[in-house]
Amino acid sequence: MENSVHTFESVWATLDRVAEQQAKTDRLMAEKMAKTDRQIAETDRQIAETNRQMEKTDRQISRLEKMIGGLSNNNGLFAEEYFYNSLDQGEKILLGEKFDKLVKSKIIEDENNRTRGELDIILINGKSVAIIEVKFRVRDKHVDKVMQKVKPFRKRFPEYQNHKVYLGLASMVFDEDIENKCKENGIAVIKQVGDNVVIYDENLKVF
């Protein structure tokens, strides 16, 4: 077996090859890191752009919600004014009873003066009270909501403790199933039919 003889030249050549390989490895690593940095920068840019788009969308949604809320409030005020004026100008009769007093938008507060509800329209005579909830378009939940107003009303206005209490829902738009639910629960249906306000109170219940 021959002994390897390392001359100065062979050792130097080996070191050159090692240095060249190391330099190549360093270049590849630098290129990969530069590529990774570019990808990270692009990802950050995309995230920032996505965030800007989301903020823009949130602002648009917020403006739309305000517009819809304003429109809904305007419709509700219009409906209240319409039914109040209609009842004020015509004969105020429910279940054959004539009411001689009409009250608009009465706030119900608790003992700490905190608002607990609002009565849109109240009809009053010497022995009965009719609480009318007004909506531009009545929903199923409004039927339950108006029935929950009797107890707070009696507590807030003890002078009517001995009065019979009737309930009514007034709306510009009444779906048939909700109208039927009102009638089943003994609640008067008050709605616009053509140019007139029509009251359905055949099954009116005393609450």
In-domain check, residue 49 = no
Q: With respect to residue 12, please indicate whether it lies within any of the assigned structural domains.
A: no
Confidence category of residue 20, pLDDT binned at 50, 70, 90: confident
Domain count, the chain: 1
pLDDT grade, residue 27 (50/70/90)?
A: confident
Does residue 43 lie within any of the structural domains?
no
**pTM for the whole structure:** 0.60
In a domain, 76, yes or no: no
Residue 46 belongs to a domain: no
Q: From residue 149, how far is each of 69, 120, 152 by CA, in Å?
A: 24, 11, 6
- CATH number, residue 162: 3.40.1350.10
pLDDT number for residue 188: 92
* Residue 57 is assigned to a structural domain of this protein: no
Structural domain span for residue 132? 92-200
Q: State the first-to-last Cα distance of the chain, in angstroms, to the nearest integer.
A: 117
The predicted pLDDT at position 71 comes to: 44
* Residue 99 is assigned to a structural domain of this protein: yes
